Amino acid sequence: MKPEDLTGIVGWGSYIPRYRLPLGEITRVWGFNPEQPKELDVTEKSVAGVDEDAVTMGWEAALNALRRAGVNPRDIGAVWFGTESKPYAVKPSATIIAEALGITPSTMATDLEFACRAASEAIRISIAAVASGMVKYAMVIGSDTAQANPGDVLEFTASSAATALIIGPSSEAAAVFEASYTYVTDTPDFWRRATSPYPLHGEGFTGEPAYFHHIVSAVKGLLEKTGLKISDFDYAIFHQPNGKFPVQVARMLGIPLEKVKPGLVTPMIGNSYNSSALIGLSKVLDEAKPGSRILLAPFGSGAGSDAFSIIVTDKVLEKRDRAPRVVDYLSRRKLVDYAFYAKARGLIKRI
């Protein structure tokens, strides 16, 4: 029996800030071609408020996941926090959330890093921890705030949001894991040195051989490992650095667009880094019928991709209305200008 056979998603939840910056504001301020946002297939991005950071957003997503799971917080034996925008350089964020939710002190807790793949890496770790009996439940949080050098093309998509999953026994799960596969290489397509406030990226290099090569390789590895075919999946969710890449990689894999669209949220909120693919999964779990099979393939620069086969169970029906859905957060929006965005995200420095 595989570790995945014993585990599943017992609870899930997301959080998206209400503030949205139209990308036309970025072209206006920095003089970009007004058509550039169309090339990315993104119209606006979510912006964390002055009083929000990766921890506060992660807390709300985790609270929603707990509500759906319906488990005692004290039974959560591990909290993994995946981010590349943690508020403290030296101090774990996982412990803050664990304490605030009443999970501490008898729990493991740590922050993970692998660019946008840290939370996905945490899912694989959680599967192993739960299946081995080391913990009964594990909490996975992916949360990030917008980080982009002002005036850089990355500013068009770098956004803020969070998603949390509670991994537990398959008998309690709204969706069970069928199989997983990971593909990693040393591909420096995106990085940030210790003294740099903003990340740098390799322009076109971030697509191929980074994003496309790793996701395609991970998915093909999963198919070879399981004997499944693309046609066996009802939904396909990929990392969403923009609105074009997920559609492009789906075409490369022969996946119809109608299987990708339900989990595609980037055109509306931008790229929320560690929450990017997971918020797509959260949205699909909000809507999918029992028996549906989901292909989930997050990606992280540096570079690596995981591929998961997930099957929705009947329990999803009783759990989904216990917390706000992704569409509830998508519809709760307030447009802001670049000045608000610059102030909220600390781009303006006082001397």
Catalytic site residue from 44, 84, 155, 178? 84
Superfamily for 1-351?
Answer: Thiolase/Chalcone synthase (3.40.47.10)
Catalytic site residue from 4, 52, 60, 116? 116
Name the residue type at position 248.
Q
Instruction: Write out the chain's pLDDT in tens, 351 residues.
Output: 899 999 999 999 999 999 999 999 999 999 999 888 889 999 999 999 999 999 999 999 999 999 999 999 999 999 999 999 999 999 999 999 999 999 999 999 999 999 999 999 999 999 999 999 999 999 999 999 978 999 999 999 999 999 999 999 999 999 999 999 999 999 988 878 888 888 878 766 678 899 999 999 999 999 999 999 999 999 999 999 999 999 999 999 999 999 999 999 999 999 999 999 999 999 999 999 999 999 999 999 999 999 999 999 999 999 999 999 999 999 999 999 999 999 999 887 776
For residue 204, the model assigns a pLDDT of 65
Residue 61 phi/psi, 5-degree rounding, is -60, -40
Question: Where do the structural domains in the chain lie, given as residue ranges?
Answer: 1-351
For residue 351, the model assigns a pLDDT of 67
**Residue written as token pair 């080391």:** 134
Catalytic-residue membership of 239: yes
For residue 309, the model assigns a pLDDT of 98
Q: How far apart are CA 165 and CA 310, in angstroms?
A: 13
Catalytic-residue membership of 4: no
For residue 205, the model assigns a pLDDT of 65
Residue 96 CB-density burial (10 A; 0-12 exposed, 13-18 middle, 19+ buried): buried
For residue 285, the model assigns a pLDDT of 98
Cα dihedral sign for 201, 207, 213, 215? positive
Catalytic-residue membership of 84: yes
Residue 165 phi/psi, 5-degree rounding, is -125, 145
Nearest to 247 by CA among 233, 262, 234, 227: 262
